[in-house]
Structure formats: structure tokens, C-alpha cells
Amino acid sequence: MRKLCVVELLTDRRLASSQQARMEELQRLLAKIAKVAETSEPFVLLDLLTEFTFNVITRMVMNKAYFGSGETTEELAATRDFIHMQEQGTILLGEFHIGDYIPFLRWFDSSVAKMKALHKIQDEFLQKVVDQHVLARQSREQTQAHDGDGDFVDTLLSLDSPDPNNQARNIKALIQRKKPAWISKALYSF
């Protein structure tokens, strides 16, 4: 994993290839700030910066912005699902889990079922992301079109793997990340 990060993902070339996505998100952020400033209404800059940060990260990892980018009903539904999934994860991280402290009362802890349900939702979501990237890659291979370096998922898919199912599982595990606590406040404002 370290070699993959150093050689493939954290290089100057990869950072330069994602510059356009970062600039587009920065332009979107500045446009939102300008729009709100015209109304002379107060706004929470942290919310806008959190949205910006999430969009940059998700565009670099999955080539899709999830906050403020929904033009179609399907995109709005995906955005709503993504935000809901993040909110539920934040709520579960903040809950008291009695089974962690008193193991024989684990049966009493309802959060275990909630965590399993959330894991299933996250797994389905990430499987859709991987499937979309696989289909896009197959389409590019058929038309022999290349659109630069691709994102994190494209890079992981380009690695040789003898078992495609195991490869998808590994990719889903690698792109899952734990959110910092400061993100939870901004998530509740959407």
C-alpha cells in the first residue's frame, strides 16, 4: 500500500492532473460566496469550506462532487444518499456503545444493528462507484480514448488482480475513510 501511494497516488504528476478539479471547485466556492455576499445575509463560512473540501476529495477519489452539484433527479438522489450515509456514520461515531464497556450487555446495544445496516448501505454505494468506473474503463478501452490519469479508483482498477471480486472489495476498503469530527456540524446543515 505504501508503494502504491508513493509511486502512483501521491506524485507531482497526479497532483497536477487533479488541478483542474480543484480549480473548478474553488470557482464554485467563490461563486457561492459572491452570491451570498450580494444578499448581505450572514452565512457560515465553515459550511462552504467543508462542502468545498468534500467535493475536492470526492472528485479526486471517485471523480464526482456530491455537494451542490445535482442537476438531475438521479444526481440529487445520489447526493442525498451520500449525505445521509455520512450523517448516520457521524451519529453512530458519537453514540455511547454500552457493549464496548460492559461486554455481556452487548445484546442490549441497538447501535450494532444500525452499524451493520450502515455498512451495507456504504458497501452498496461504493460498489456502484466501482461498477461505474469499470464500465467507464471498458468504454474507454473499446473506443481507445484516454482522459488523462484518472482518479484514485481508476488507478486502483488499473492494477493487475487475478480476482475481480477481490479487487472490488479491496478498492472499497481503501476508499472508505474516517471523517474528522469537525465535518459533522457541516453535514447537519444540508
Q: What are 63-81's pLDDT values in tens digits?
A: 888 777 656 677 777 778 8
Specify the higher pLDDT residue, 82 or 70: 82
How far apart, in Å, are the Cα atoms of 81 and each of 86, 118, 174? 9, 11, 20
- Tell me the three cell numbers of residue 4: 502504491
C-alpha span between 133 and 127 (Å, rounded): 10
Residues with Cβ within 8 Å of 161's Cβ and at least 6 positions away in sequence, in order, are 167, 170
Is pLDDT above 70 for 44?
A: yes
For the chain, how big is the Rg over CA atoms in Å? 19
How far apart, in Å, are the Cα atoms of 181 and each of 39, 86, 89, 143, 157? 31, 11, 11, 44, 30
Calculate mean pLDDT across residues 29-39.
90
Count CB neighbours of 15 within 10 A. Answer: 12
Contact 171, 159 (CB under 8 A): no
64 φ, ψ (degrees, to nearest 5)? -150, 135
pTM: 0.71
